[in-house]
Amino acid sequence: MSETSVQLQTQATFIDTSVSLNSSGRPVIAHDTSQARRQVRHKPKFAEFVCSEGEVYRYANLVTKAVVPQAMWGNVKHMITARRYETLSLHQVLQDFQTSDCEWLMPAGGGARAQTRVSVSDALKRRELLEEFLFWYFDSFLIPLLKTTFYVTESSAFRNRVIYFRHDDWSTLCAPLVEKLSTDTFQRIEQCEAHEILRQRRLGFSFVRLLPKETGVRPIVNLRRRVDKDAYRPGQSINQILQAAFQILTYEKDRQPDRLGASVFGPNEIYAKLKAFKCRLTGNDPSKKLPKLYFVKVDVQACFDTIEQTKLLDILRELLTEDAYMIQRYGTVNKAGEKMQRKYVKKALPEDDHPHFMTYAAKLAEVLRNTIFADQVVYPFSRRKEIIALLEEHITENIVKIGNEYYRQVVGIPQGSVLSAILCSFFYGDLERKNFRFTDDDECVLMRLIDDWLLITADRSKATRFYDIVSKGHPEYGCFISKDKSLLNFDHPELVTIVDPRSKVFPWCGYSINMQDLSVTVDYTRYHTTYLQDSLTVEFGRRPGAVFAHKMMQLAKSKSHIVYNDATLNSAHAVHLNAYQNFTVLAMKMHHYLRQWGLDVPKHHAFVLKTIRQAIRFAYTSACNKATHKLARTHAARIDLQERQAAWLGLHAFHTVFSRKPQAYARLLKALSFELSLPRYRCLRKRFRGVVAEGLSTLTLLCF
């Protein structure tokens, strides 16, 4: 049954005369008559059962008033509405708070209460008592209250926003999934057997978290959580224990890239493959027109949960060829902004390949500038049989704890492991080498980001053949695709979803690839169902202005990768569009940040204007710097975007966004208008008219 086949009621609209009321006057649905229980089999949209932040705040406020009379003890609402990575400091709680408002802090007697001036020691003592009370209230009253009433979590659908579910609704909605997990993916084991297994193994057990998504929940195995051996010895997390295996697999990945098949791990590999493919089609002649291209996108169904464990272990045994590996360790220190940044790096090498660290550091210095390298001297060794045994234990004996019960994973690999992505890449790389050899020619490029395949080819028959093969499935690998997520740009007998004929771009993993010239732009449609402010983390601590400027710089350079700016891969229009859309989204996020920070923009408009100029300049400088990196030099990348053009695109984007709030940004808009009217920008308005129109049209659906 489709998720839209039933119209669910929200908690607010479901009313039963026999139920009690919650703190906001809403009915509390009993466990046995819950709407969630009746509708859970219909794959409900979990967002409909989320308690709003206003409801949670009113509930906390009512309970506080019932327990602590006349309680106005700080910004409770701000803590409830804070996003995932935001913090609430005691200093922030005390802002706009007067000790004279608290009767219990005033000395007894009317004369003492009438005093307007108090001694320094008395004032400090009152502040200390107030701080202790407020700390107790938030730490020992409010947080336990929220934990006992709500299941507090995050969701990929809501980015960094923290969401609240009533415990009864959450338990009812998750019950079918927990039951399905315990029968399909996991096998329950007795407590005594689990304790005996855990006593003999290195990896211990992990916990399963259920994260809500649009129409269900996603089980995430938390392998970063430490399980203490005893009260005095903190244990290592499973991911920490697997670090040596991860470094060894990374070494083999670099040494045997053919084993990865069509795997790509990020924009670097995507850029390299697309650039090489375009050069093959054009014969390095930029003026040559590309042939008609056929696109196929498919997604593996439940990728991590369907991997055949025995097949994966056979692949790993063939992959590891060295008898022993050495893990080289060193530290780096460099300046990141105004702070010193320290990192510890590990790298696996064959046992007999032990380069002198000074020689290795000299090579690193050619790439990393203004960096200090420190050798860790002691290098651990790992034997092949030990690593194979550890991988086998991790894959076939993954013990998880759901509630108070222990389970063994019987199919697939742990999702959340430091090894998950690289194991998946080797596994499907083996499938590709045995089934998709026909795509290894100059007219095809096949890419796979974890479990998302994309084939681009000039041969329609190969595109059809590829889809036919993957749609049939590969039982020996446990590989079957989600046909409802498949996308083609040509007709197919199976009536697969076809890209909109009016569209010039093909979406894949956050990228929009032009189907005529392979230009790459950003796919902003993923923002259409979310609010931009949910992706932010607002800092209210020390030096908030410096933190704000730093965050804007980081956001500005987020789309400076060479894949978006190489003039030999992208058309000039695409390069300018990428820059303009990046600045437009940056302006929207800056608006939300300023509003939630509470900055008086008219008073500090010069500071905001300075930050805008710095962000525009930093974005352009970052793009130019990326063109000097090894990846760009290897593929003969070229940056044609001029600083003057980037400045106009940035200024125009900020002016357009802030014009929607003219009263809040009046002085800022006046300054931006003046800069845009300068003679050096005069000819650019007409030139970039099409870029501006397209850029704004693709961003109109953003929840701004």
The distance in angstroms from the start CA to the end CA of the chain is 33
pLDDT at 582 over 90: yes
- Band (537; pLDDT cuts 50, 70, 90): confident
pLDDT in tens, 314-333: 999 999 989 999 898 888 99
Q: How far is residue 108's CA from residue 113's CA, in Å, rounded to a whole number?
A: 7
Q: Residue 622: what pLDDT?
A: 95
- Band (1; pLDDT cuts 50, 70, 90): very low
Q: Residue 617: what pLDDT?
A: 97
Please compute the mean of the pLDDT values over residues 532-549 and round it to a whole number. 86
Please compute the mean of the pLDDT values over residues 518-529 and round it to a whole number. 87
Q: How distant, in Å, are the alpha carbons of 201, 365, 519, 588, 693 from that of 559?
A: 44, 26, 15, 15, 20
Of 544, 673, 551, 691, the C-alpha closest to 609 is 673
138 or 265: which carries more pLDDT confidence?
Answer: 265
Of 586, 577, 583, 588, the C-alpha closest to 688 is 577
Q: Residue 77: what pLDDT?
A: 61
Please compute the mean of the pLDDT values over residues 165-185 and round it to a whole number. 83
Q: How far is residue 319's CA from residue 313's CA, in Å, rounded to a whole number?
A: 10
Helix (H) or strand (E) holding 527: none
Q: Residue 397: what pLDDT?
A: 86
> Any idea which of 31-40, 73-82, 458-467, 529-538 has the lowest mean pLDDT?
31-40
Q: Residue 26: what pLDDT?
A: 41
Instruction: Let me know: does 444 contact 457? Beta carbons within 8 Å.
Output: yes
Q: Residue 205: what pLDDT?
A: 85
Please compute the mean of the pLDDT values over residues 579-600 and round it to a whole number. 94
Q: Kindly report the CA angle at 140 between 135 and 144, in degrees rounded to 5?
A: 135
Going along the chain from its start, the domains and CATH numbers come out as: 53-107+120-163 (1.10.132.70), 257-308+418-514 (3.30.70.2630), 520-702 (1.10.357.90)
Q: Residue 389: what pLDDT?
A: 93
- Band (12; pLDDT cuts 50, 70, 90): very low
Percent of the chain topping pLDDT 90: 46
Pairing of the two strands 399-402 and 206-213: parallel
Please compute the mean of the pLDDT values over residues 622-641 and round it to a whole number. 93
Helix (H/G/I), strand (E/B), else coil: 335? strand
Q: Residue 71: what pLDDT?
A: 41
pLDDT at 357 over 80: yes
Helix (H) or strand (E) holding 14: none
Q: How far is residue 72's CA from residue 119's CA, in Å, rounded to a whole number?
A: 25
pLDDT at 28 over 70: no
Chain mean pLDDT for the chain: 84
Strand partners, 447: 454
pLDDT at 33 over 80: no
Q: Residue 42: what pLDDT?
A: 45
